[in-house]
Structure 1
Amino acid sequence: MDLRNFLRRYTFFAFLVFYTSALFAQTTTVTGVVTDGGSKKNEVMPFVSVGFMGTTIGAPTNANGRFSISTDKPVKQIKVSFVGYQDAYINITPGVAQVVNVRLIPSTEELQEVDVKAGKKPKYRNKGNPAVELIRQVIAHRDQNRPEAYNYVEYREYDKMMFSIANLSDKFAQKKFLQKYNFVLQNRDSTTVPGKSLLPLYLDEKLSQYYYRKQPEKERSVVLGTRTVDYGGSIDKEGITEFFKYMYAKVDIYDNSINLMTNNFLSPIANGGPTFYKYFITDTVTLDNGQKLIELSFTPRNLEDMLFEGKIYITQDGNFAVQKAKLGINKHINLNFVKSMDIDLDFEQNPDGRYHLSKSTNLADFGINKNKNSGLFGIRTIVYKNYIVNQPRPDTTYKKGVEDDAADYAISHRGEKFWDQNRLDTLTTAEAKVYKNVDSLSHMKSFQRTLDIATLLFAGYKSFGWFEVGPSNTFYSFNPIEGLKLRLGGRTTPELSNRYYFETYAAYGFKDEKWKGFLSATYSLNNKSIYKFPQNYIRASFNRDTKIPGAALQFVQEDNFLLSFKRGENDKYLYNDFYRFDYVHEFESHFSYSLTLKKWTQTPAGSLYFQNNTGFINNLTTAEVSLNLRYAPNEKFYQGKIYRVPVPSTNPIISVDYTHDFKGIVGGSYDFQTVHARIDRRTYLSQLGYFDSFVEGGKIFGQVPYPLLTIFRANQTYAYDLYSYNLMNFLEFVSDKYVALNIDQHFMGFFFNKIPLLQKLKWREVVSFKGIYGQLGDNNNPALHPNLYQFPVRADGTPITYTLGNTPYIEGSVGVENIFKFIRVDYVRRFNYLDHPGVAADGIRVRVKLDF
């Protein structure tokens, strides 16, 4: 027989048999409802696993307890299972559609003995996972369970923040030099946190009434009372409180992201939760009122990511509301200085059956060494009471009233009787003693001397009551023009006056043998500290000092010693004389404007010079009026007695500046206008971290010499500057119209956390992009107008200053941050204009930043 003919016939026959069998195979379909056999009301049970025995085919019940499964395989039985209930095995008829309703019986037998045997760990999957189906329902119902789903909401809120030293050793507390502080050191609490002996050092209480209206949307929080320990002297209680509350932000589990410890955590019920979390239905819980909750446990897929682990308890009433939550972090997480963190959220039921947050407790254990049991311990407790929904109030309820100083004083000086009657939580015995203990401590001269030394070391200022000397890092610096430069200055504090503020310094350069200095006088128009929001003040000032053209520093003094070290040529300086008058006015809406009158005289120094067709010019004087408009919705600050620092926010910050320079007024040499606008914003990308960005642009109308053009921010130090161009030389580029984009992306370890060798280091990735597109109009081109100042050149005739043509300036960087928990190192690359003399195509830059 021909072998090939035989195989051909056999193959065809086998295919025919298989196809005919499949064609006539019958489908088995089972539908039904699963109910709770332990409930008198015969309640339906969602997310119960139902499957055909001997197969992997199955599905969970839906929100109404219904299921439907089908298969072509020969099956004879289904299995129905749920945590806390006995498995049910039901015989079925194969090949037909049938209805099977199941009543599950709660498990009542106690587990006597368990044999644990090693085996292959089953692979976790989202598909067909009842826990994932449940969390998707919670996500789908998230908006309806938020307070903002109501038309009107109001409640009373009590906020308590406490910081302690945990497990302070008795041996240390008994040191001789600490005996005078024994009344503080013996005030311990060993009941609040099991295994912790807490010595409270800081306590802040705040009572507020909150109102919310949906249409038109408006909210208002009326502060009824505040109370904070006061160490006096240089310790700023308000600034500390704002920083602590930024670290311990309010936790709303219904938000996609939760900001804690200056980091962005993904909520377990966020839209992208199933991508980053593993979920498990681990139990059912019956409350005293008979209500059943599903206990859903969750854990990060990657233990180093900014994710929680814990449990949430979900209602089975069709609302899929979170009724209780326990959030924590695992020991492998890429988070600095935090040994553990536990968040408990408790919810109460409204009359309409929905739930609202009734209490939030956040406990965090801090320490450099995670293996030691001692360190700082913080607890923030927020209690919500008197919850009222859908009760309209007059429009005036939602409008912020005018708060005078008398009202502020009364709010912050409530007596014991007020707090005893209105405090929504209780103080422990140790907490109750903190106010008196700290007050006694603050009056001890030895303690105040210790504080003064600490303030000088860490903040750079030495306090003398109403006057502070500093900052200490500017006392000594050097540069090629001035040589060794010594500087001494200071400022007054609110202890002198809430109305009047003075600031000054004097400096001397031993190479140029010239004195420099600064003097300002400020008057507060609203009788509040000029550092507090909302600002409303006038200021007159005079400043004579050196400056590098195009150098722009953020929150850093020009004479900082560390910035004395610069790369490349650094001999182009200006002597500047500024006479200024400023008026600043901020509004509660976070819109502000400032008006500035300024006379500015620039005198070149070093290798810099001013020259036109008539010869060399000694100096350049301008007289200008400028108006700045700024809008920063919901902006918050670390706001203290003599400083304030903006808290990063996802809200944009928009600023617009208009400047008009006048010729012939107080020596002004040119008449022109300048317009500049900028938008800053932080954008969170869930587990991909966040990026800070800004876009800006400007244009000059009129004819001006190059010192008055836009001189782009350059950086010739070895420090990485977020807002400057780190491979651009000073005075390298000028323009009279431009747009610029800056992006600084922080991945927060998203990629390194997946690499075994890098997981232990807790390093984090960072990438940046900076670009400028700008041009110089013909009317400002000195090559076409000899009367304008010519661009400076070096001794050999090579140019120092250039214009941007059709090609934008671009640089970027890739780097690693969180090295040793506070160092960032970037490899910076410049992509064009590499033919300019004295430029570097790439380089390494370092930035120091302490962060969680």
Structure 2
Amino acid sequence: MAQTKVGGVVYDDLGETVAFANVVFPNSSEGTITNDNGRFYLQSDNSFDSIEVSFIGYKTQVIKLNAKVSLDLTITLETETASLDEVVVYTGKTSKKNNPAIDILRKVWENRRKNGLAQFKQYQYDKYEKLEFDMNTIDSAMINSKLFRGMEFIFDYADTSRVTGKTYLPIFINESLAKVYGDNQLNKKKEDVKANKNSGFSNNQTIIAFVKDLYNDIDVYDRYLKFFDKSFASPVGKAGIDTYNYVLRDTALVDGVESYNIIYYPRRKNELTFKGDFWVAAESYAIKEINMQATKSANINWVKEIYIEQEFDVLNDSLFLITRDYFMSDFALNKKEKSKGIYGKRTTLYDNYQFDIEKPADFYKRRVNDFDPEVYNRDEAYWDQNRLEKLNKDEKQIYVMLDTLKKNKKFKRLYNLGTILASGYYEMDGYDIGPIFSIFGFNDVEGLRLRAGGRTFFTSNDPWRIEGYTAYGFRDDKFKYGISGKALLDKRSRLTVYAGNRRDVEQLGASLTNTNDVLGRSLASSALISAGNNNRLSNINLSTVGVSFEPVYNFEIRLNGSYRTIETANPGVFSLDYLDPDTGEVSGEVKQSAITLTTTYTPGRKMSNYGVDRTLINEGAYPILYMNYTKGIKDLLNSDFNYDKFSFYYSHPFQIGAFGRLTARVEAGKTFGTVPLSLLNVVPGNQTYFNIQGTFNTMDFYEFVTDQYATIHLDHNFNGRLFSRIPGLRDLQLRELVGIKAVYGTISDENRAINRSGLMYRAPEDVYWEYSAGIGNIFKILRIDVSFRGSYNFLPDARSMAITGSFGFSF
């Protein structure tokens, strides 16, 4: 319903586009800033007959508007000759000294804790959130394409974005209502969801959870603002002075409060920065309004536009609290102006603030299972009464259009195809076939390997599930299989029982942290992606039964018993022989019963779905603390050995502001007792061409064997911080990667003495280490690392260098 819409491109008198120029409706606080290519779009609910365009070093231009909608303006700014004496001003750089805008910004920092929720012991408020996804850049070619034939009616619901001026079509909408509680003394916060409603992919909780995770709440006063797994320098935070140029543009009344208007734009290209402006209350130095638009040169994938607005209200003379938060992103394959994409929009409203209402500490304890079906089934009368902002006519029609679309046969086919590609399973009624990406394999023992599998699947919240597969190797002429079942007995504590059996060929030396997952298979077991000989494979027959539960959210305890037999899968080439201490005879097969207790703590982990299986939302974004104790029991089910094994690992990702992300991983373990090679800790080498977490890229399988060990892995991604400052490289948006890994370990004389495998045990007693450098974000999906061996280069056939890579989609 906007009254005035205007857009176009701003040039200088040399014909170059002007980035970050200021465009406003005269005598108002409504405005925007041109993007990296000089393009802008601005709309208002009010009627205006002109716009004002200005930038440091140029004469201000007032452009008359001949129509209420003018989207193709071409504006030329003339150089201000009086500014030519000051090179700093002419190039758009602003001084850090004697700059009134920066003086005001310092006052903002000094007063940040006096203006918001931090000044109270406790707080609570109502929160309404609306998420919407839209296809954008709708044109006649799209409308008439074969893809949408039979679904043309959906384009009757198209609208125009108030930020970019592009036509868009809604495809998903979600609303939620919540009560938020917080305690600044306990440093605790709780969000109690009262209602949730969505259309589009209404039953897909994973999509909803993933979308919500993309749009985390942000505090503009923080030094860095994190979303899309990236840290953007906040224009209001203390990192801003070294990152942005600031200009004090105006002083005006905003909602009756005298305020300063400050424009900001980045000092350098290709960094994770914004451009925009904000209003600061003159007396309290609180942020009154702010808009932030990510620069197009920012090193972030699949996102063409990011636009954020926040508004704050005055509750009394000094208390400013956020009342509205708007976040819009444009997901696209590239950043070209005419490229089509998907808008993701979140509008959050805050109301009914209350303070100093104390709650007991247990109130903030998060429940393991917080699924309440009633939350997702509120009637329309409830929503009409409790929404903090009424839906407009177009938004109401979104529900109608999407509910109609879901009944369309062609849409159902497209949706099912997308589901197969996303999950890897082909869905049937009550049963899924897959994973389809595991059908083919190859290794030195099996030759060509074909695999077929499936799982029961009625809904994403099934309380029980059965999974299985069968595989056949054409070289060894053998069938393999795996089958497992699990059932969720108690949702509140996630008490789960499980059991399974697997007979297969596997590469044992691929991980220090062993599990009893009967359906798991290491990437190292395939020779299709291996360097050198990959023939040290084993036949595994594993049976397991166990129970798991979560006494505290994201803290899992697992107890299971297992029985397995292990023998070489490649006789004459690879041996697992050992001297039996009781009989004095040489044996090649191990039969072992064991009981294992495992605890896993994952603070910050986010999951979706509430059945026996859940989907991880934020992989790699949280710490992991894992501890394991295994007791081997001799003679139980004819078991061969008594032993005790402890293992531990801790992984933690650290976001280091503008300098990227460091991931640190520490592992340690010890085996008490005399055991053969198949029960020892083989330091995991990596003979594949792919990056495998926790392995050493220049080490071969079974190169080092230990019964006690400690390792450290440090990997850092600079996210393009260095390349962004090198002409010729910055436009490629590559990312620098460095890493270092080390392991120390020993092996006892007793374990050496029973070895009859022909493999000379070697432990890294002098510390084995390697270092790596790499380039990521090649074509936005490829990473290549070059690793160099730092020690034990004297060994025969030692690989001094290894090249590995990986594919993946990341922002």
Q: Same fold (TM over 0.5)?
A: yes
Q: Distance in 1 between matches of 2:116 and 2:363?
A: 22
Q: 1:251 maps to which residue? A: 218
Counterpart residue identity of residue 542, structure 1: N
Out of 345, 348, 366, the residue aligned to residue 382 of structure 1 is 348
Q: 1:25 maps to which residue? A: none
Distance verdict in 2 for CA 1:571–1:370, change over 3 Å: same
- Structure 1 residue 804 corresponds to structure 2 residue 764: yes
What does the per-residue CA deviation read over 1:807-831, in whole Å, with 9 as the maximum and x for residues that have no partner? Answer: 1111111011011111111111111
Q: Distance in 1 between matches of 2:212 and 2:757?
A: 52
User: Retained in 2: the 8 A contact 1:582–1:595?
Assistant: yes
Q: Distance in 2 between matches of 1:338 and 1:176?
A: 26
Distance verdict in 2 for CA 1:557–1:473, change over 3 Å: farther
| Residue 217 of structure 1: how far off its partner (Å) | 3.4
- Structure 1 residue 298 corresponds to structure 2 residue 264: yes
Q: 2:686 maps to which residue? A: 715
| Residue 417 of structure 1: how far off its partner (Å) | 1.2
Q: 1:840 maps to which residue? A: 799
- Structure 1 residue 585 corresponds to structure 2 residue 555: no
Distance verdict in 2 for CA 1:231–1:212, change over 3 Å: closer
Distance verdict in 2 for CA 1:448–1:615, change over 3 Å: farther
Question: How do 1:534-573 and structure 2 match up within 5 A?
Answer: 535-552=494-511, 557-558=521-522, 564-573=528-537
- Residue 610 of structure 1 aligns to a residue whose secondary structure is coil
User: Retained in 1: the 8 A contact 2:446–2:477?
Assistant: yes
Q: 2:415 maps to which residue? A: 451
What does the per-residue CA deviation read over 1:729-786, in whole Å, with 9 as the maximum and x for residues that have no partner? Answer: 1111111111111111010111100001101111110111111111113332x2xx2x
Q: 1:790 maps to which residue? A: 756
What does the per-residue CA deviation read over 1:469-497, in whole Å, with 9 as the maximum and x for residues that have no partner? Answer: 11112111111101111110011124397
- Residue 335 of structure 2 aligns to a residue whose secondary structure is coil
- Residue 802 of structure 1 aligns to a residue whose secondary structure is coil
Counterpart residue identity of residue 188, structure 1: A
Distance verdict in 2 for CA 1:287–1:435, change over 3 Å: closer
User: Retained in 1: the 8 A contact 2:444–2:527?
Assistant: no
- Residue 141 of structure 1 aligns to a residue whose secondary structure is helix
- Structure 1 residue 823 corresponds to structure 2 residue 776: no
Q: Relative to structure 2, which stretch is displaced further, 519-528 or 543-552? A: 519-528
- Residue 323 of structure 2 aligns to a residue whose secondary structure is strand
Out of 402, 405, 412, the residue aligned to residue 441 of structure 1 is 405
Counterpart residue identity of residue 354, structure 2: I
| Residue 372 of structure 1: how far off its partner (Å) | 3.6
- Residue 713 of structure 1 aligns to a residue whose secondary structure is coil
Q: Distance in 2 between matches of 1:303 and 1:535?
A: 49
Give the % identical residues.
27
Distance verdict in 2 for CA 1:217–1:139, change over 3 Å: same
Q: Relative to structure 2, which stretch is displaced further, 422-431 or 684-693? A: 422-431
Out of 712, 723, 737, the residue aligned to residue 741 of structure 1 is 712
Q: 2:185 maps to which residue? A: 215
Q: Distance in 1 between matches of 2:696 and 2:578?
A: 29
CA RMSD across the alignment: 2.8
User: Retained in 2: the 8 A contact 1:639–1:645?
Assistant: no
- Residue 421 of structure 1 aligns to a residue whose secondary structure is helix
Q: 2:632 maps to which residue? A: 661
Distance verdict in 2 for CA 1:646–1:243, change over 3 Å: closer
Question: How do 1:759-774 and structure 2 match up within 5 A?
Answer: 759-774=730-745
- Residue 687 of structure 2 aligns to a residue whose secondary structure is coil
Q: Distance in 2 between matches of 1:618 and 1:778?
A: 20
- Residue 769 of structure 1 aligns to a residue whose secondary structure is strand
Distance verdict in 2 for CA 1:209–1:612, change over 3 Å: closer
User: Retained in 2: the 8 A contact 1:498–1:527?
Assistant: no
Q: Distance in 2 between matches of 1:352 and 1:707?
A: 72
Out of 280, 288, 292, the residue aligned to residue 323 of structure 1 is 288
Question: How do 1:363-512 and structure 2 match up within 5 A?
Answer: 363-373=328-338, 374-393=340-359, 397-399=363-365, 408-495=372-459, 498-512=462-476
Q: Distance in 1 between matches of 2:255 and 2:499?
A: 68
Residues matched between the structures, number: 720
User: Retained in 1: the 8 A contact 2:489–2:497?
Assistant: yes
- Residue 334 of structure 1 aligns to a residue whose secondary structure is coil
Q: Distance in 1 between matches of 2:361 and 2:459?
A: 39
Out of 146, 150, 156, the residue aligned to residue 126 of structure 2 is 156
User: Retained in 2: the 8 A contact 1:237–1:640?
Assistant: no
Q: Distance in 2 between matches of 1:749 and 1:194?
A: 27
Q: Relative to structure 2, which stretch is displaced further, 478-487 or 623-632? A: 623-632
Q: 1:523 maps to which residue? A: 487
User: Retained in 2: the 8 A contact 1:491–1:501?
Assistant: yes
Q: Distance in 2 between matches of 1:774 and 1:553?
A: 12
User: Retained in 1: the 8 A contact 2:443–2:525?
Assistant: no
Counterpart residue identity of residue 375, structure 1: G
User: Retained in 1: the 8 A contact 2:94–2:247?
Assistant: no
Q: Distance in 1 between matches of 2:328 and 2:292?
A: 10
User: Retained in 1: the 8 A contact 2:525–2:537?
Assistant: no
| Residue 703 of structure 1: how far off its partner (Å) | 1.5
Distance verdict in 2 for CA 1:802–1:349, change over 3 Å: same
Distance verdict in 2 for CA 1:394–1:775, change over 3 Å: closer
Q: Relative to structure 2, which stretch is displaced further, 435-444 or 824-833? A: 435-444
Distance verdict in 2 for CA 1:398–1:803, change over 3 Å: closer
User: Retained in 2: the 8 A contact 1:752–1:764?
Assistant: yes
- Residue 320 of structure 1 aligns to a residue whose secondary structure is coil
Distance verdict in 2 for CA 1:315–1:523, change over 3 Å: same
Q: 2:175 maps to which residue? A: 205
Q: 1:36 maps to which residue? A: none
What does the per-residue CA deviation read over 1:361-417, in whole Å, with 9 as the maximum and x for residues that have no partner? Answer: 011122223224332111111111111122334666545579776xx1110111111
Distance verdict in 2 for CA 1:452–1:251, change over 3 Å: same
- Structure 1 residue 813 corresponds to structure 2 residue 780: no
**Structure 1: any 5+ residue segments left out of the alignment?**
1-83, 85-109, 529-533, 794-798
| Residue 303 of structure 1: how far off its partner (Å) | 1.9
User: Retained in 1: the 8 A contact 2:143–2:155?
Assistant: yes
**Structure 2: any 5+ residue segments left out of the alignment?**
1-53, 55-61, 65-76, 514-518
User: Retained in 2: the 8 A contact 1:146–1:254?
Assistant: no
Q: Distance in 2 between matches of 1:186 and 1:114?
A: 43
Q: Relative to structure 2, which stretch is displaced further, 172-181 or 200-209? A: 172-181
Out of 252, 257, 278, the residue aligned to residue 285 of structure 1 is 252
Out of 595, 599, 609, the residue aligned to residue 575 of structure 2 is 609
| Residue 582 of structure 1: how far off its partner (Å) | 2.3
| Residue 445 of structure 1: how far off its partner (Å) | 3.7
What does the per-residue CA deviation read over 1:25-72, in whole Å, with 9 as the maximum and x for residues that have no partner? Answer: xxxxxxxxxxxxxxxxxxxxxxxxxxxxxxxxxxxxxxxxxxxxxxxx
User: Retained in 2: the 8 A contact 1:682–1:692?
Assistant: yes
Q: Distance in 2 between matches of 1:561 and 1:603?
A: 15
- Structure 1 residue 337 corresponds to structure 2 residue 302: yes
- Residue 634 of structure 1 aligns to a residue whose secondary structure is coil
| Residue 183 of structure 1: how far off its partner (Å) | 3.1
Please report the TM-score for the alignment, with normalisation by the length of structure 1: 0.80
Q: Distance in 1 between matches of 2:148 and 2:681?
A: 58
Q: Distance in 1 between matches of 2:412 and 2:282?
A: 58
Out of 716, 728, 731, the residue aligned to residue 699 of structure 2 is 728
User: Retained in 2: the 8 A contact 1:360–1:381?
Assistant: yes
Structure possessing the higher radius of gyration over alpha carbons: 1
User: Retained in 1: the 8 A contact 2:429–2:458?
Assistant: no
- Residue 262 of structure 2 aligns to a residue whose secondary structure is strand
User: Retained in 2: the 8 A contact 1:251–1:360?
Assistant: no
User: Retained in 2: the 8 A contact 1:635–1:649?
Assistant: no
Q: Distance in 2 between matches of 1:730 and 1:391?
A: 60
